[in-house]
A and B are shown apart, each in its own frame.
Chain A
Amino acid sequence: MPYSLIWLPSVLERAGLKVAVTPGWEDRGHGDVGRIFGVICHHTATQARGNYPSMNTIIHGRADLPGPLSQLGLGRDGTFYVIAAGRSYHAGKGIWQGLVNGNSNFIGIEAENTGGSNDFPWPEVQMLAYQRGVAAILKHIGQPAIFCAGHREYALPKGRKPDPSFDMIEFRQKVQAIMDNGAPAVLIPAVETATAPGQTKPRPTLRRGGTMNTAEAVSFVQKQLKIDVDGDFGAKTEEAMRTFQISIGLVPDGIVGPKTWAALDKI
């Protein structure tokens, strides 16, 4: 039976965020959550590179501690990975706003970051998605921004936790601003803004599993990336695309939008 946080993907997607659900997320959890009062922000402190290398561990935990270890994950490209709709072990001992039952009363978001100087400041796209996601969740549960806590603020005894490695006060101000004023979603255009030279019309944005993918366009992309050409935008193509995007300094989201199209043309 699905647990009560089944609203997470739809709320995040409505906020214009990239959302990926992990298989079985609806039924995942250490029992159901209690009444949700807010969000606790974490970072994974995983040293590995990649968009969200911590996913398997967050889902399954480790030998002595079963997963899920948080409800949501946040990839470096700003994609929210929905891990669990139930209770997860993310908070531990602590207090925030008089609330002490962290695992039951707070949604945990584990954002991918090494937590060290090699990953600071955070990628802009990830930080924006973090703020928007938290704002969307708090708005949905009808709570003000103060109910968004950093794990290091929540955890007791003080100093038990270092995450997340950004300024929570500023973060809450941004979240509050998004909640108050709304913020136009920063979306990737569905098609190119202008017709590129040598094309008859603006090319649509391609992505893994995208509805506008055509075999012809995907084959072109695969040829440019020098990978097996099969006209199907799958996980391998997405991975290669992320690598390519990193190499030219674009957001490594694996989505072929206008900027990526332009970069592909130059190869």
Chain B
Amino acid sequence: MFGSVILDVAIGIIFIFILISIICSAIREGIEGLLKTRAAYLEHGIRELLHDKEGVKLASAFYTNPNIYGLFASDYKPLVQGNKLTMLKMGRSLPSYIPSRNFALAIMDIAARGPVTDEVSSDPASPIISLENMRANVANLGNPHVQRILLTAIDTAQGDLNLVQQNLEKWYESGMDRVSGWYKRSTQGIIFFIGLFAAILLNINTITIASYLSQNQTARELLVFNAEKMIEEEKEAKKLDPAAGNLDPSYKSYEVARNKLDNLSLPIGWKAGYGMATTAEDNLKGERYNATWYWNYVFGPPLGWLITAVAVMLGAPFWFDLLNKVMVIRSTVKPHEKSKEEASEDRQPPVALQAPLTTQVTLRPPAPPNEVQPPIAISSSPAVPGAAAEPRDESTDIDGCDVEIKDTTPDDELPEAKGGVA
């Protein structure tokens, strides 16, 4: 309002970017709802994590494990995709999210009881999920990489089953970071195109808006006022619910943002026709632009749209952060008070996913000498109950014992016997 014109123009532009970003994000969410790209990315991530690129062995067993199976409709079929992930990959009915606990339990269950769910793996006598059984039956996973991960998880857990689960959860979460990364990139790409499309369709030209704002004090003040109001509202919301994200939910909805944008009476839309100089003010001082028709009609508009699209791609949270910072510069409030990292949802520092395992190990008090850690190694005595030498394979289900004997062997065709005589 009173500060420099440049700052106010910047604030106004940022505010507009936020609104457009929200609209474009809403459109992107709609597309995601149809395509379920995130599910496809998650499936791809799971396949990479489990070292099963074809999705036919462990990944398939994982998705059909009851711990996971309940999270999605219909049956698991690996998405035919080779190793290619496209921006608009269809996720079909697969789950978009898999809680890390379900993941860890599924892996432990498969390791102890085998990949198939049938009478055997659901029998009360089937192997108990214990460190010894998981270690002994680790070949059930049928995948050297994951077996090694599980063995590491078991060994670093020092005999604590819960720690094994936590180790697996952390491993999963570290893999999911990659999935989030892929997804974020895909989202940015899609939002760029949505932004470009919207910018052209609605003729949102950043350069035009900037020049309009720099010349129109009322419009500038209106925008700055709105921006301040948004930040205030956001703060209020934060007070009520500290856990809430950075943007007030009321701003996140498509309609609200759309209405706000409409009410600002900005030089957007096609009413004024094609070209850069679309406002009265521009026409008054028009010589600056009008002198060059190729700027007004050839390079200017596409460049303005492109800037809008790129800005939208950066996302509302980014612009909101920036708005906060610019406001700090502008106001008299001490900078560090306001610019304290009010990080947005997306920019939360990642939870320490790779918490050093050694810390955990050392945190556990050393066991007193008489309370020996349960031996993890499979004891040399083969009488360990539940110690399977190898996983069930498909052919173990074949039972020829009920074969009806038709081709009987007469006694004179029996082979010669030895032994039994002193």
Contact = CB atoms under 8 A, between A and B. Distances in A.
A239 B413 CA distance: 9
Q: Chain A's interface: helix, strand, loop or mixed, by majority?
A: loop
B119 interface: yes
B415 A92 contact: no
Interface string B65-82: 000000000000000000
A33 B214 CA distance: 84
B87 to A, nearest CB: 44
A103 B405 contact: no
A81 B415 CA distance: 8
Contact of B411 (A54, A98, A238): A238
Nearest to A125: B420
A44 interface: yes
A113 B415 CA distance: 19
B406 to A, nearest CB: 7
Contacts of A105: 388-390
B420 A187 contact: yes
A56 B409 contact: yes
Interface residues of B, number: 49
Interface string A62-93: 10010101100001001101000001111111
Residue with the greatest number of chain A CB neighbours at <10 A, chosen from B127, B390, B396, B404:
B396
Contacts of B422: 187-190
A197 interface: no
Contacts, number: 211
Given A44-B405, A189-B422, A104 B393 contact: yes
Interface stretch (A9-17, A169-177, A217-225): A9-17
Interface in A185-241: 187-190, 205, 207-210, 235-236, 238-239
Interface in B312-358: none
Interface stretch (A116-124, A149-157, A259-267): A149-157
Contact of A20 (B395, B404, B417): B417
A95 B409 CA distance: 32
Contacts of A45: 402, 405
B405 A54 contact: yes
A143 B388 contact: no
Chain A interface residue count: which class? 35 or more
Residue with the greatest number of chain A CB neighbours at <10 A, chosen from B127, B388, B393, B405:
B405
Contacts of B415: 20-23, 81
B393 A239 contact: no
Contacts of A91: 396, 399, 401
A100 B187 CA distance: 47
A42 B403 CA distance: 12
A249 interface: no
Interface string B408-421: 11111111111111
A215 to B, nearest CB: 18
Given A61-B403, A101-B396, 20 more contacts: A17-B419, A19-B419, A56-B409, A56-B413, A79-B414, A87-B395, A91-B399, A92-B398, A93-B119, A93-B399, A98-B125, A98-B126, A100-B126, A101-B388, A101-B390, A101-B392, A104-B389, A156-B120, A156-B123, A188-B420
13 contacts: A45-B405, A46-B405, A53-B408, A57-B403, A60-B407, A70-B401, A79-B420, A91-B399, A99-B388, A104-B390, A104-B393, A188-B421, A190-B422
Interface of A: 12-13, 16-23, 30, 34-35, 37, 42, 44-46, 48, 50-57, 60-62, 65, 67, 69-70, 75, 78-79, 81, 87-95, 97-105, 108, 110, 141-144, 147, 151, 155-157, 161, 163, 187-190, 205, 207-210, 235-236, 238-239, 242, 253-255, 257
Interface of B: 114, 118-121, 123, 125-127, 133, 382-383, 385-393, 395-422
